[in-house]
Every structure is written in C-alpha cells, then in structure tokens.
Amino acid sequence: MRILVVEDEKKLAGFVRKGLEEHGFGVTVSHNGDEADTLLRAEPFDLIVLDIMLPGRDGLSILKNLRDRKNTVPVILVTARSEANERVAGLNLGADDYIAKPFYMDELLARVQAVLRRTSGDQLSVLRAGDLTVNLITRKVTRGKEEVVLPPREFGLLEYLMRSPGRVFTRSQILEHVWGYSFDPGTNLVDVCVQRLRAGIDAAGRESFIEAVRGVGYRFRKLEGV
C-alpha cells in the first residue's frame, strides 16, 4: 500500500520512511506543503502521515483541500504534544487519527494499521487471483488452504504486480517502486526477488502467476474472466 509522508524534519521523515518500508509499505516523502498538495492532486495514496507545521502550505490546509475535493484518503496528523487545539481542528476537518511528537515507530505502525483496518473495505484491502489471496492489512498470503510467509520485499513485489494483472512492468519500474531506487544498480535484484517470490507462492506443478516478458520485465498473469 502506498503511503505519503509529509514531514519537513528530514531526519524524522527518513526514520518514518525506513520503518514503514521495513513493513512492506511503499513510501513517498515530501518535505514541503505546496509540493505535497501537488502530489495529492496527481497521484493516489492509500494513507497520508501529515505533519501540521510545514513550509509552504500547512497540514491543516492540505487536509481541508483534500476533504473539499471529496478525497477520503485516511490521514494521520503529526502534531506537537502541547497543541491540543490543532488536534481538535484536524479531527473536525476529517483527520482519521493523530500522533504527537516525539513518538515511537511501533506506535505509528499500530496507528497506521488500525486506520487502514477501519477505512479499507475488503475490495481495497484484499487482492485475489484464483486460489491466491493477499490481505494488505494483516499481510497474510494464502495459496489454497496453505499460508505463505513472504519477507517484506517479496510481499511488496507481489502487491505491486498483482494490483495490475496483465500489465508488464520493467525492471526499472520495479526497482523504483519496491526498492525506492531511481537508478539501476546494475545487479539482478529484481530477478532474484522474483525467483524467491515464485518459490513461495507457486504450488508444485502449477503455472506460475509471475510471467517474464523477454527483454522487458515481469507481469502478473491475468486470469480468464478476471
């Protein structure tokens, strides 16, 4: 699931990004309110972690603009511990939760997962293809009746491909989304990860869900009738 972190303190933003990515979330970071507002008009996100005090447009203004546009994306506000009036204002504007600085990463993760459970319907939180089921909230993967345990990177790759069955993604696109690389490191990271993913989700003797497209990249096999 894609999370936008809007935080002008770069050290804190990096800390939050690392913690979320370690749990398999795709994370985009913005350090400026105007930039974040532009991003939110152009790209869909599953959740926003939004600091109130920002250079440019402040967090409450961003939140108000979202709700005025009928955008119901879940928002967790980040506030100063002493500013109760900001928390109240944010909740009245449509924030789903808040967390006060300083905070522990475990607390933020718990709030992220709780908000996603409350706000995501089954269609958004569960991906299915044939007998393969992926729960994006609990991060549980099953093939038939068997549970499949996937490391965060393989889970992120599976979600990325599975969201767009039949679409071919290049290795560069996969590297950027799953690893956060904006460049090709010149390794076979993607191919190794695909091999591990196949080993996890493909039952013996069955056709693989992950197809290689020679000279291009990979795609999740589109099933007939899906």
Q: Is the pLDDT of residue 186 over 90?
A: no
Whole-number Å distance between alpha carbons of 104 and 189:
31
Residue 155 lies in a domain: yes
Q: Which domain holds residue 12?
A: 2-119
Q: What's the structural domain count of the chain?
A: 2
Whether residue 6 is found in the same domain as residue 101 = yes
Residues 199 and 148 in one domain: yes
- Residue 122 in this model has a pLDDT that exceeds 60: no
| Residue bearing tokens 């000279």 | 215
Which one of 63, 97, 119 terminates a domain?
Answer: 119
Kindly state whether residues 8 and 114 are assigned to the same domain. yes
Average pLDDT on 54-58 reads 93
For residue 226, what pLDDT is reported?
A: 44
The answer on pLDDT for 202 being more than 60 is yes
pLDDT at residue 175 in the model:
86
Distance CA 101, CA 80 (A): 5
Tell me the CATH number at 210.
1.10.10.10
In a 10 Å sphere around its CB, with 0-12 CB exposed, 13-18 middle and 19+ buried, how is residue 158 labelled? buried
d(CA 26, CA 11): 18
Q: Using 50, 70 and 90 to split pLDDT, how confident is the model at 135?
A: confident
The answer on 153 and 69 residing in a single domain is no
Name residues whose C-beta falls within 8 Å of residue 82's C-beta, 6 or more positions apart in sequence: none
pLDDT of residue 204: 64
User: What DSSP line would sit under 147-172, residue for residue?
Assistant: EE---HHHHHHHHHHHTSTT--EEHH
pLDDT above 70 coverage of the chain, percent: 92
**Same domain, yes or no: 105 and 136:** no
pLDDT, the chain, mean: 87
The token pair at 125 is 């939180």
Q: Verify that 156 and 214 share a domain, yes or no.
A: yes
